[in-house]
Structure 1
Amino acid sequence: MNTPNRLKQKIFTSLFFSLGLIFSAHSLSAQHSEQLNDRKNGIELYNQYKTTAAIPYLEKAAKAGDQEAQYYLGEALRKKNRYMTPEAQSAYEASALQGNIYSMIRLADNSDDLCVAMGNCPEGRKDPKEWLEIAKKTAGTQAAEGNAESMYLMFRITGNDEWLEKSAANGFAFAQYYLGTGYRDGKGFFILPSKRYETVENLMKASAEGGYPKGMMEYAAIRAEKKDFENYRSWNKKAAEAGYTSAVYGYGLNLSTKASEFGFSYDPITSYALMHLLLELDGGGDILDAAKYSIEKISVNMSPEQIEKAKILSREWKANHPALSYFPDKL
């Protein structure tokens, strides 16, 4: 073969190889995007108590190796069947082997594992005690590096309240809420009741500012008790905008009253829109029936044109805000 032909062949081969890399990268990117969407959809449905509907999405993302989807798949299967099925166990194990501490904790709590009881687990399979030690070591290492969420997980692993306090002090919003509710309900020792109330308020304020919607509503309630209705209105709206179902319902209800004791402006269109949005919560929880009842009462004083505007607004709200969620405790 002469030199010009060899040169052409090299150029063609190089071009073909480059195009192959481009198409391969594009395919991998598309697969990753699909995996993320499946995980997102699955977790959103799970957080709306639509466990059965969540499972197909979570299964697809879990099969692609997504450790978070694997954890939630384990949760969904375990809750749907009300016991640790072999499929749930496998999902947790796949997730835990990728370092997911939540899955490790679930496996450590599985004292009903039949193969452990019978002493015939497959070779190489870890028992609950082994998972507990791995969870403790993994979370402990991350906590020592300053990871506030891992400090909270150390509390769940050890039961030591100091870890919960450290997690809250280091800014994990859920731990701040969790600790605050404990103090509110009588946990801990305070010389003066006023100090307890002050500590609870500070924790809920920190949790709210950290973005945790349940913390937002707890802090809003505290401010309402102190007649600080401006802050109550602000945090109720923020929690609703974050998708917290109870806050969406409360905000919508507050807007439905012409003479609101909290100072909300009367806005039946937005009120109806929010109640209409809540009608999709047909998987579980206690919001759906309340929303159905409220939307009927609100609609009595609305024209057909206003109701149509409200339904359009409901669709717009859904498109521009996070998905509705009950925000169940991840553990």
Structure 2
Amino acid sequence: MRFPYCIAVILLMALSQAHAQFSAEQQTAKEQGLVLYNQFKTISAVPYLRAAADAGDSESQYFLGEAIRKSKRYITPEAQSAYEAAALQGDIYSMIRLAGNADDLCVAMGNCPEGRKEPREWLQMAKQHAGEQAANGNAESMYLMYELTADKKWLEQSAENGFALAQYLLGVEYKEGGGFFLSPSSRTEKAEHWMRASAQGGYPRGMMGLAAILIEKKDLEGFRQWNEKAANSGYVEGVFGYASYLAGEPSNYGYSLDFVKSYALLSLLLELDGGGGVRRDVEDILPNIAEKITPEQIQTAEKLAHEWKATHPPLSFFPFKLSR
């Protein structure tokens, strides 16, 4: 009996190690897929997200659905299946996407397979799940209730409970004229309050939103601080702005000229060929900067770009998880 038992133990250990290795590979695939997705390279992201989604990861399933939907411009059967797999694990984002899929062919034809939920059922489920979690103090679910109901009170509650995206959206809302305020100054103060909360919460869009408010106030030091923080987060808008200012474009924000660092950061953005128009903008100004530095300085810039990429988060447009 001893020999078979030993074999069984060895086999069990081998299977455990294989499972751990598989899980690590799936996690790597998910991370790479999300990097590509966040760079608007949705077609390239699909195989990586599919590998992680097939392992049952609900977030990967949702983003697989999103990547396919965005690349194909509609919800394909594979995207539908990915959303449904995530939704059945409680992913509210997927429920919301399914609730809005009025173009589902089987719904239109009235011949959906037995057990297949219709959009109205997904909507009801999304509201139930988000409502229950919001009642338990989940700030992100409060934001999702706002998305589901368009009731601004939910957005305010989410912001007050610390959800950085909601804080950013509320700051934008107030800055663009939403809400009621007794004076323009009180509106401006409240917009800055929520944008600062979002920035301090680590949300890159909030960082750039706060930088924009500060430049209007002629607070150049604050503007530079938050612009650089956004760049350090990998936010494309922050990197492009910071790099441009280092080259003196425009030259009135108080940056010290650093053509080498400007060239390095702008050259990083050349990998963004999936959309967004940034690569085109970089190609317009990078040759002008190259004319101002020596070949040796360009080599230094290339080394600096390599070091920056190794020590900073991947470049990202930080698209909204629910497309707006």
TM-score range, shorter chain: over 0.9
* Candidates 171, 181, 186, aligned match of 2:177: 186
Give the corresponding residue for 2:271: 280
User: Is 1:171 matched up with 2:159?
Assistant: no
Name stretches of at least 5 consecutive residues in structure 2 with no aligned partner.
Answer: none
The question of 1:65 aligning with 2:56 is answered: yes
In structure 2, give the amino acid aligned to 1:275: L
2:82 to 74, 91, 96: 91
Post-superposition CA distance 1:265-317 (Å, at most 9, x none): 22111111100000000010021111112211111111111101111111111
1:17 and 2:16 matched: no
Per-residue deviation, 1:84: 1.5
- 2:198 matched to which residue of 1? 207
- Alignment partner, residue 299 of structure 2: 308
The size of the alignment, in residue pairs, is 322
User: Are the equivalent residues in 2 in contact too, given 1:255–1:268 (CA < 8 A)?
Assistant: yes
Tell me whether 1:109 sits opposite 2:108 in the alignment: no
> Which letter maps to 1:203?
W
Write out aligned runs for 1:120-135 (5 A). 120-135=111-126
1:151 corresponds to: 142
Larger radius of gyration: 1
Counterpart contact for 2:50–2:64, Cα < 8 Å: yes
Identity %: 56
Counterpart residue number, 1:320: 311
Partner AA of 1:27 in structure 2: A
Aligned to 1:238: 229
Distance 1:140 1:258 in 2: 48
Q: Deviations over 1:73-123 (max 9, x none)?
A: 111111111112111111100110111100000000111111112111000
Q: Look up the equivalent residue of 2:20 and give its one-letter code.
A: S
Aligned: 1:229 with 2:206: no
Aligned partner of 1:220 in structure 2 is: 211
- Counterpart of 2:247 in structure 1 is 256
Equivalent in the alignment of 1:266: 257
Matches within 5 A, 1:16-55: 16-55=7-46
1:5 matched residue in structure 2? none
SS in 2 for 1:279: helix
Q: 1:147, 1:68 → 2: CA distance?
A: 18
1:256: how far off? 1.2
TM-score, normalised with respect to structure 1: 0.94
Q: TM-score, normalised by structure 2?
A: 0.96
Which residue is 2:286 aligned to?
295
Distance in 2, Cα, partners of 1:314 & 1:23: 42
1:258 deviates by: 9.4
The amino acid of 1:139's aligned partner reads A
Shift of 1:261: 2.1
Q: Distance in 1 between matches of 2:68 and 2:255?
A: 42
Query: What residue identity is the alignment partner of 1:221?
Result: A
Whether the 8 Å CA contact 1:46–1:76 is kept in 2: the answer is yes
- Of the three residues 47, 58, 62, the one matched with 1:56 is 47
